[in-house]
Structure 1
């Protein structure tokens, strides 16, 4: 029997009430306009405000309630098997330098959070924990050995340990351990940063979606325009098509469940299944079951599998479940820097994969230095406009997947025999109606909602997410409510009524 699933709600959003910053007047200008109040955007805004810049943060939703509030909240430089992967992508010397540069950036981000949370007294439950990436198949231990060696060579506190050193009953054959890592409450951290930004004279406006940005620093919103000398696009998925980020990012969703359970020391990730486990204040937090955003699959069924696994790991009951929207780059290194080669005052931070807590913080530290005229040594590694031969192969694979979803969606909808009018409560369909493709959903109380099924970004047909009750685009990850409203970009316009 499948475990009973609660309504989708992030543990972090539920346990960190926030002031309403919506409805505030929109300033005419600021030295720096930051779009997005997640960890990358708020870190950038805080650092620049502390440096004396006038800063305005624009957020479509609420502070820390988007991607950064839907994470497992591990603050660690251990990013699965990142260091052996980085080392192998380039020649021996270049790969080792890239791995060391990446590791130094992530470790600096971790240390900055630890130092700043103490200095400005942000109560975010920051605690040090060791982090483990493990395998259950002894034949896979060579992968761990290569990772431990690459991470240690990069200057990180890594070592290879046996399965007997893994305390929870995970069936591990061995693991790479990083000592001195951390975990925290991500939304409390972000709300604390937001409060400090305002104390420094910065301004934050929630509930306002940016629709366009001009190269000269004019930011367009439904409530008017704002001019900024510098504009930072930290919207997780960049909302501007210049730079072609939509073709260079792979959108996936990762599920998480939480509930009371036995205390767990340490943070754990299965290198093969990407299932994760950690504890927080009497809760167990279990993640996994990732899939490409917008795939026509049973997301609710994936939640059930994850919930069952959590119960087997010692969770006594489920109280929360949520999903995270992750963007991976072609080489698994985030894009942080100038939005495109000709940009001078337009900046971007995206592509943190599953590692946004240190990745987003590292992006803020890097952007702060770049905007203030510095030349940080990590800039070349994170340059959004980099490209190499392995990236070309990854780009081809990603865009084959996009083409498959684009064509497959239209074929499936054109041959569908269902109609929106025939839907039972809670059901949805995408079908053809004359020359239009329609997405229909009937609410549990019987209301029928029909909208255009064509994503307003580039026209792919959306698919129904039966867990979050959203319309998700499989091509580039845009997400919409059943009434057509934009939940996540790159789309900025809603699905039109049908």
Structure 2
């Protein structure tokens, strides 16, 4: 019971990621372990106009992998990041490298056919081996470990589903089997096991990739927000500081596309998940990477931590801007303490993913008329193997090479979108409910807002997004998300305004923490 209802927010440092340093009152509990244990160099902000072969927007795993692969292929590359390299979603991942993505292969063989499932397994598996080869070539000490991956269930009613998944994964080419024994300290009804997968320290790996990109002539810029895209031959980008980038090709790898010429937002559903971590004895290591779709998802893995192991537990997924995040942290920490009684929890953070309505990520040309603009998004919680796969796929497309799985991931696909119409319609109904319903809900008066809390309130006859700090001072903003106008909601555990429609996030001063929004919430007087 270490997570308490914190009465205030820990403000982020200027120039950092915008994620709060602490989400709890416990002074021994801090943020992302990956960010704290791998400090990259500060990189320049783009101030002058430049011209390159390819401009890549977003320096997470997908953007970095793409830029690095292109530089290896001899292209002049500029990588543009709004905050810090590998410090956004990638810096808050669980860091499992596996082709076993919960329960996907049985669904793929039904919706994409056996060949589609095989291509998915092959593309993800080759991405893992590419990472292993790269880490060895660059001599990166990134805590690389081979582990088996498991999708498990405790409910005996799901064993048939797990058996079907094991068969489908094996037919797709993975070394998969159905098992009833795992290394978890509690019994399971069954599990899909895939051997030969991997886990690592993602930030150590990606910072080394960024260094090698620069060594190959690539340019890397931080605190450089791209706000304009002009497609053509060449393409032109504009930054918030007014600098212009001229490039033959542009890749948008911002997790959620900041430029969406094909209305991809209608096919992406944002999902936020929480992470808690702490030390356990090495003899308590469950020796594997585990996930279950039950209980709001529970994911378990460990990492080297001196003579001990760091236990990392993820779960409690929810739509940004909905519900009580503090209680969700409490539920997750309680689950970790119940199943691993001797754990000493030391870290808490959160991450965000985008689920595509038809299961498969969207990687390739940005829209039907695109000739020199590309996108990588919709990794559905598996962005490490997916981002590395995207780097190789986009490099092949830009350099004119063949790639066997280009069609599988093509964002312009329509057949699978029609087949997955129920998921598409469900997502659109949810967005509509927030867009309309949140405006109909009567807001509380600003006087009811306690210190350390935020809410969309009524003040002077208007709706305002107001945060009252610990000193009692009010910070007022427009509640309309600058992406498409949905009303934001306050996440007290992370001290952020969140859009429930498409997942944009802002700090208490309105600054963009996470896209697709590129403009801050407007300041208001109160």
Per the normalisation by structure 2, the TM-score is: 0.90
Structure 2 counterpart of 1:144: 162
Which residue in the other structure is 2:17 paired with?
none
Q: Secondary structure at the match of 2:245?
A: strand
Q: 2:298 aligns with which of 265, 269, 275?
A: 275
Tell me how far 1:24 sits from its aligned partner.
5.1
Number of equivalenced pairs: 488
What is residue 366 of structure 1 aligned with on the other side? 393
Equivalent-residue separation in structure 1 for 2:279 and 2:336 (angstroms): 10
SS at match of 1:236: coil
Of residues 261, 272, 287 in structure 1, which corresponds to 2:314? Answer: 287
Counterpart contact for 1:8–1:467, Cα < 8 Å? no
Q: How far off is 1:17 after superposition?
A: 0.8
More deviation in 19-28 or 245-254? Answer: 19-28
Q: Deviations over 1:169-214 (max 9, x none)?
A: 2331111100000000011111010000000010100011111211
Specify whether residues 22 and 422 from structure 1 end up closer, same or farther in structure 2 by C-alpha distance, changes over 3 A only: farther
CA 1:227/1:142 → structure 2, altered by over 3 Å: closer, same or farther? same
Aligned to 1:71: 93
Q: Where do 1:33-44 residues align within 5 Å?
A: 33-44=55-66
Query: Corresponding residue for 1:476?
Result: 502
Map of 1:417 onto structure 2: 444
Cα distance in 2 for partners of 1:15, 1:426 equals 29
Matches of 1:84 and 1:171 in 2, distance apart?
24
Distance 2:523 2:352 in 1: 26
Q: 2:430 aligns with which of 395, 401, 405?
A: 401
**Please, what TM-score do these two structures have when normalized by structure 1?**
0.95
1:253 aligned residue: 272
Q: Is the 8 A contact 1:38 1:66 kept in 2?
A: yes
- Residue aligned with 2:486, SS: coil
**1:98 partnered with 2:116:** yes
Mind listing any 5+ residue stretches in structure 2 that lack a counterpart? 5-23
Q: The residue matched to 1:319 in structure 2 has which SS?
A: strand
Q: SS at 1:168's partner residue?
A: coil
Partner residue of 2:381 out of 354, 357, 371: 354
CA contact (8 A) 2:270 2:354 kept: yes
In structure 2, what is the equivalent of residue 135 of structure 1? 153
SS in 2 for 1:187: helix
SS of 2:273's partner is: strand
Counting only pairs closer than 5 Å after superposition, residues 164-243 of structure 1 correspond to structure 2 as 165-216=181-232, 217-223=235-241, 224-243=243-262
Structure 2 residue aligned with 1:378: 405
CA contact (8 A) 2:445 2:459 kept: no
Alpha-carbon displacement from aligned partner over 1:293-318 (angstroms, at most 9, x marks no partner): 222x1101100110111122325322
Q: CA deviation at 1:375?
A: 2.6
DSSP 3-state at the match of 2:197: strand
SS in 1 for 2:490: strand
SS of equivalent residue, structure 2 residue 344: coil
Matched residues in 1 for 2:381 and 2:30: separation? Answer: 20
Aligned position for 2:132? 114
Q: Determine the structure 1 residue equivalent to 2:72.
A: 50
SS of structure 1 residue aligned to 2:351: strand
Find the aligned partners of 2:455 and 2:138 in 1 and give their Cα distance: 50
Deviates more, 1:384-393 or 1:204-213: 384-393
Gap runs ≥5 in structure 1: none
Q: Which residue of 1 aligns with 2:20?
A: none
* Contact 1:418/1:429, CA 8 A, preserved across alignment: no
| C-alpha contact 1:286 1:310 (8 A) present in aligned 2 | yes
Following the alignment from structure 1 to structure 2, what is the Cα–Cα distance between the partners of residues 139 and 365? 40
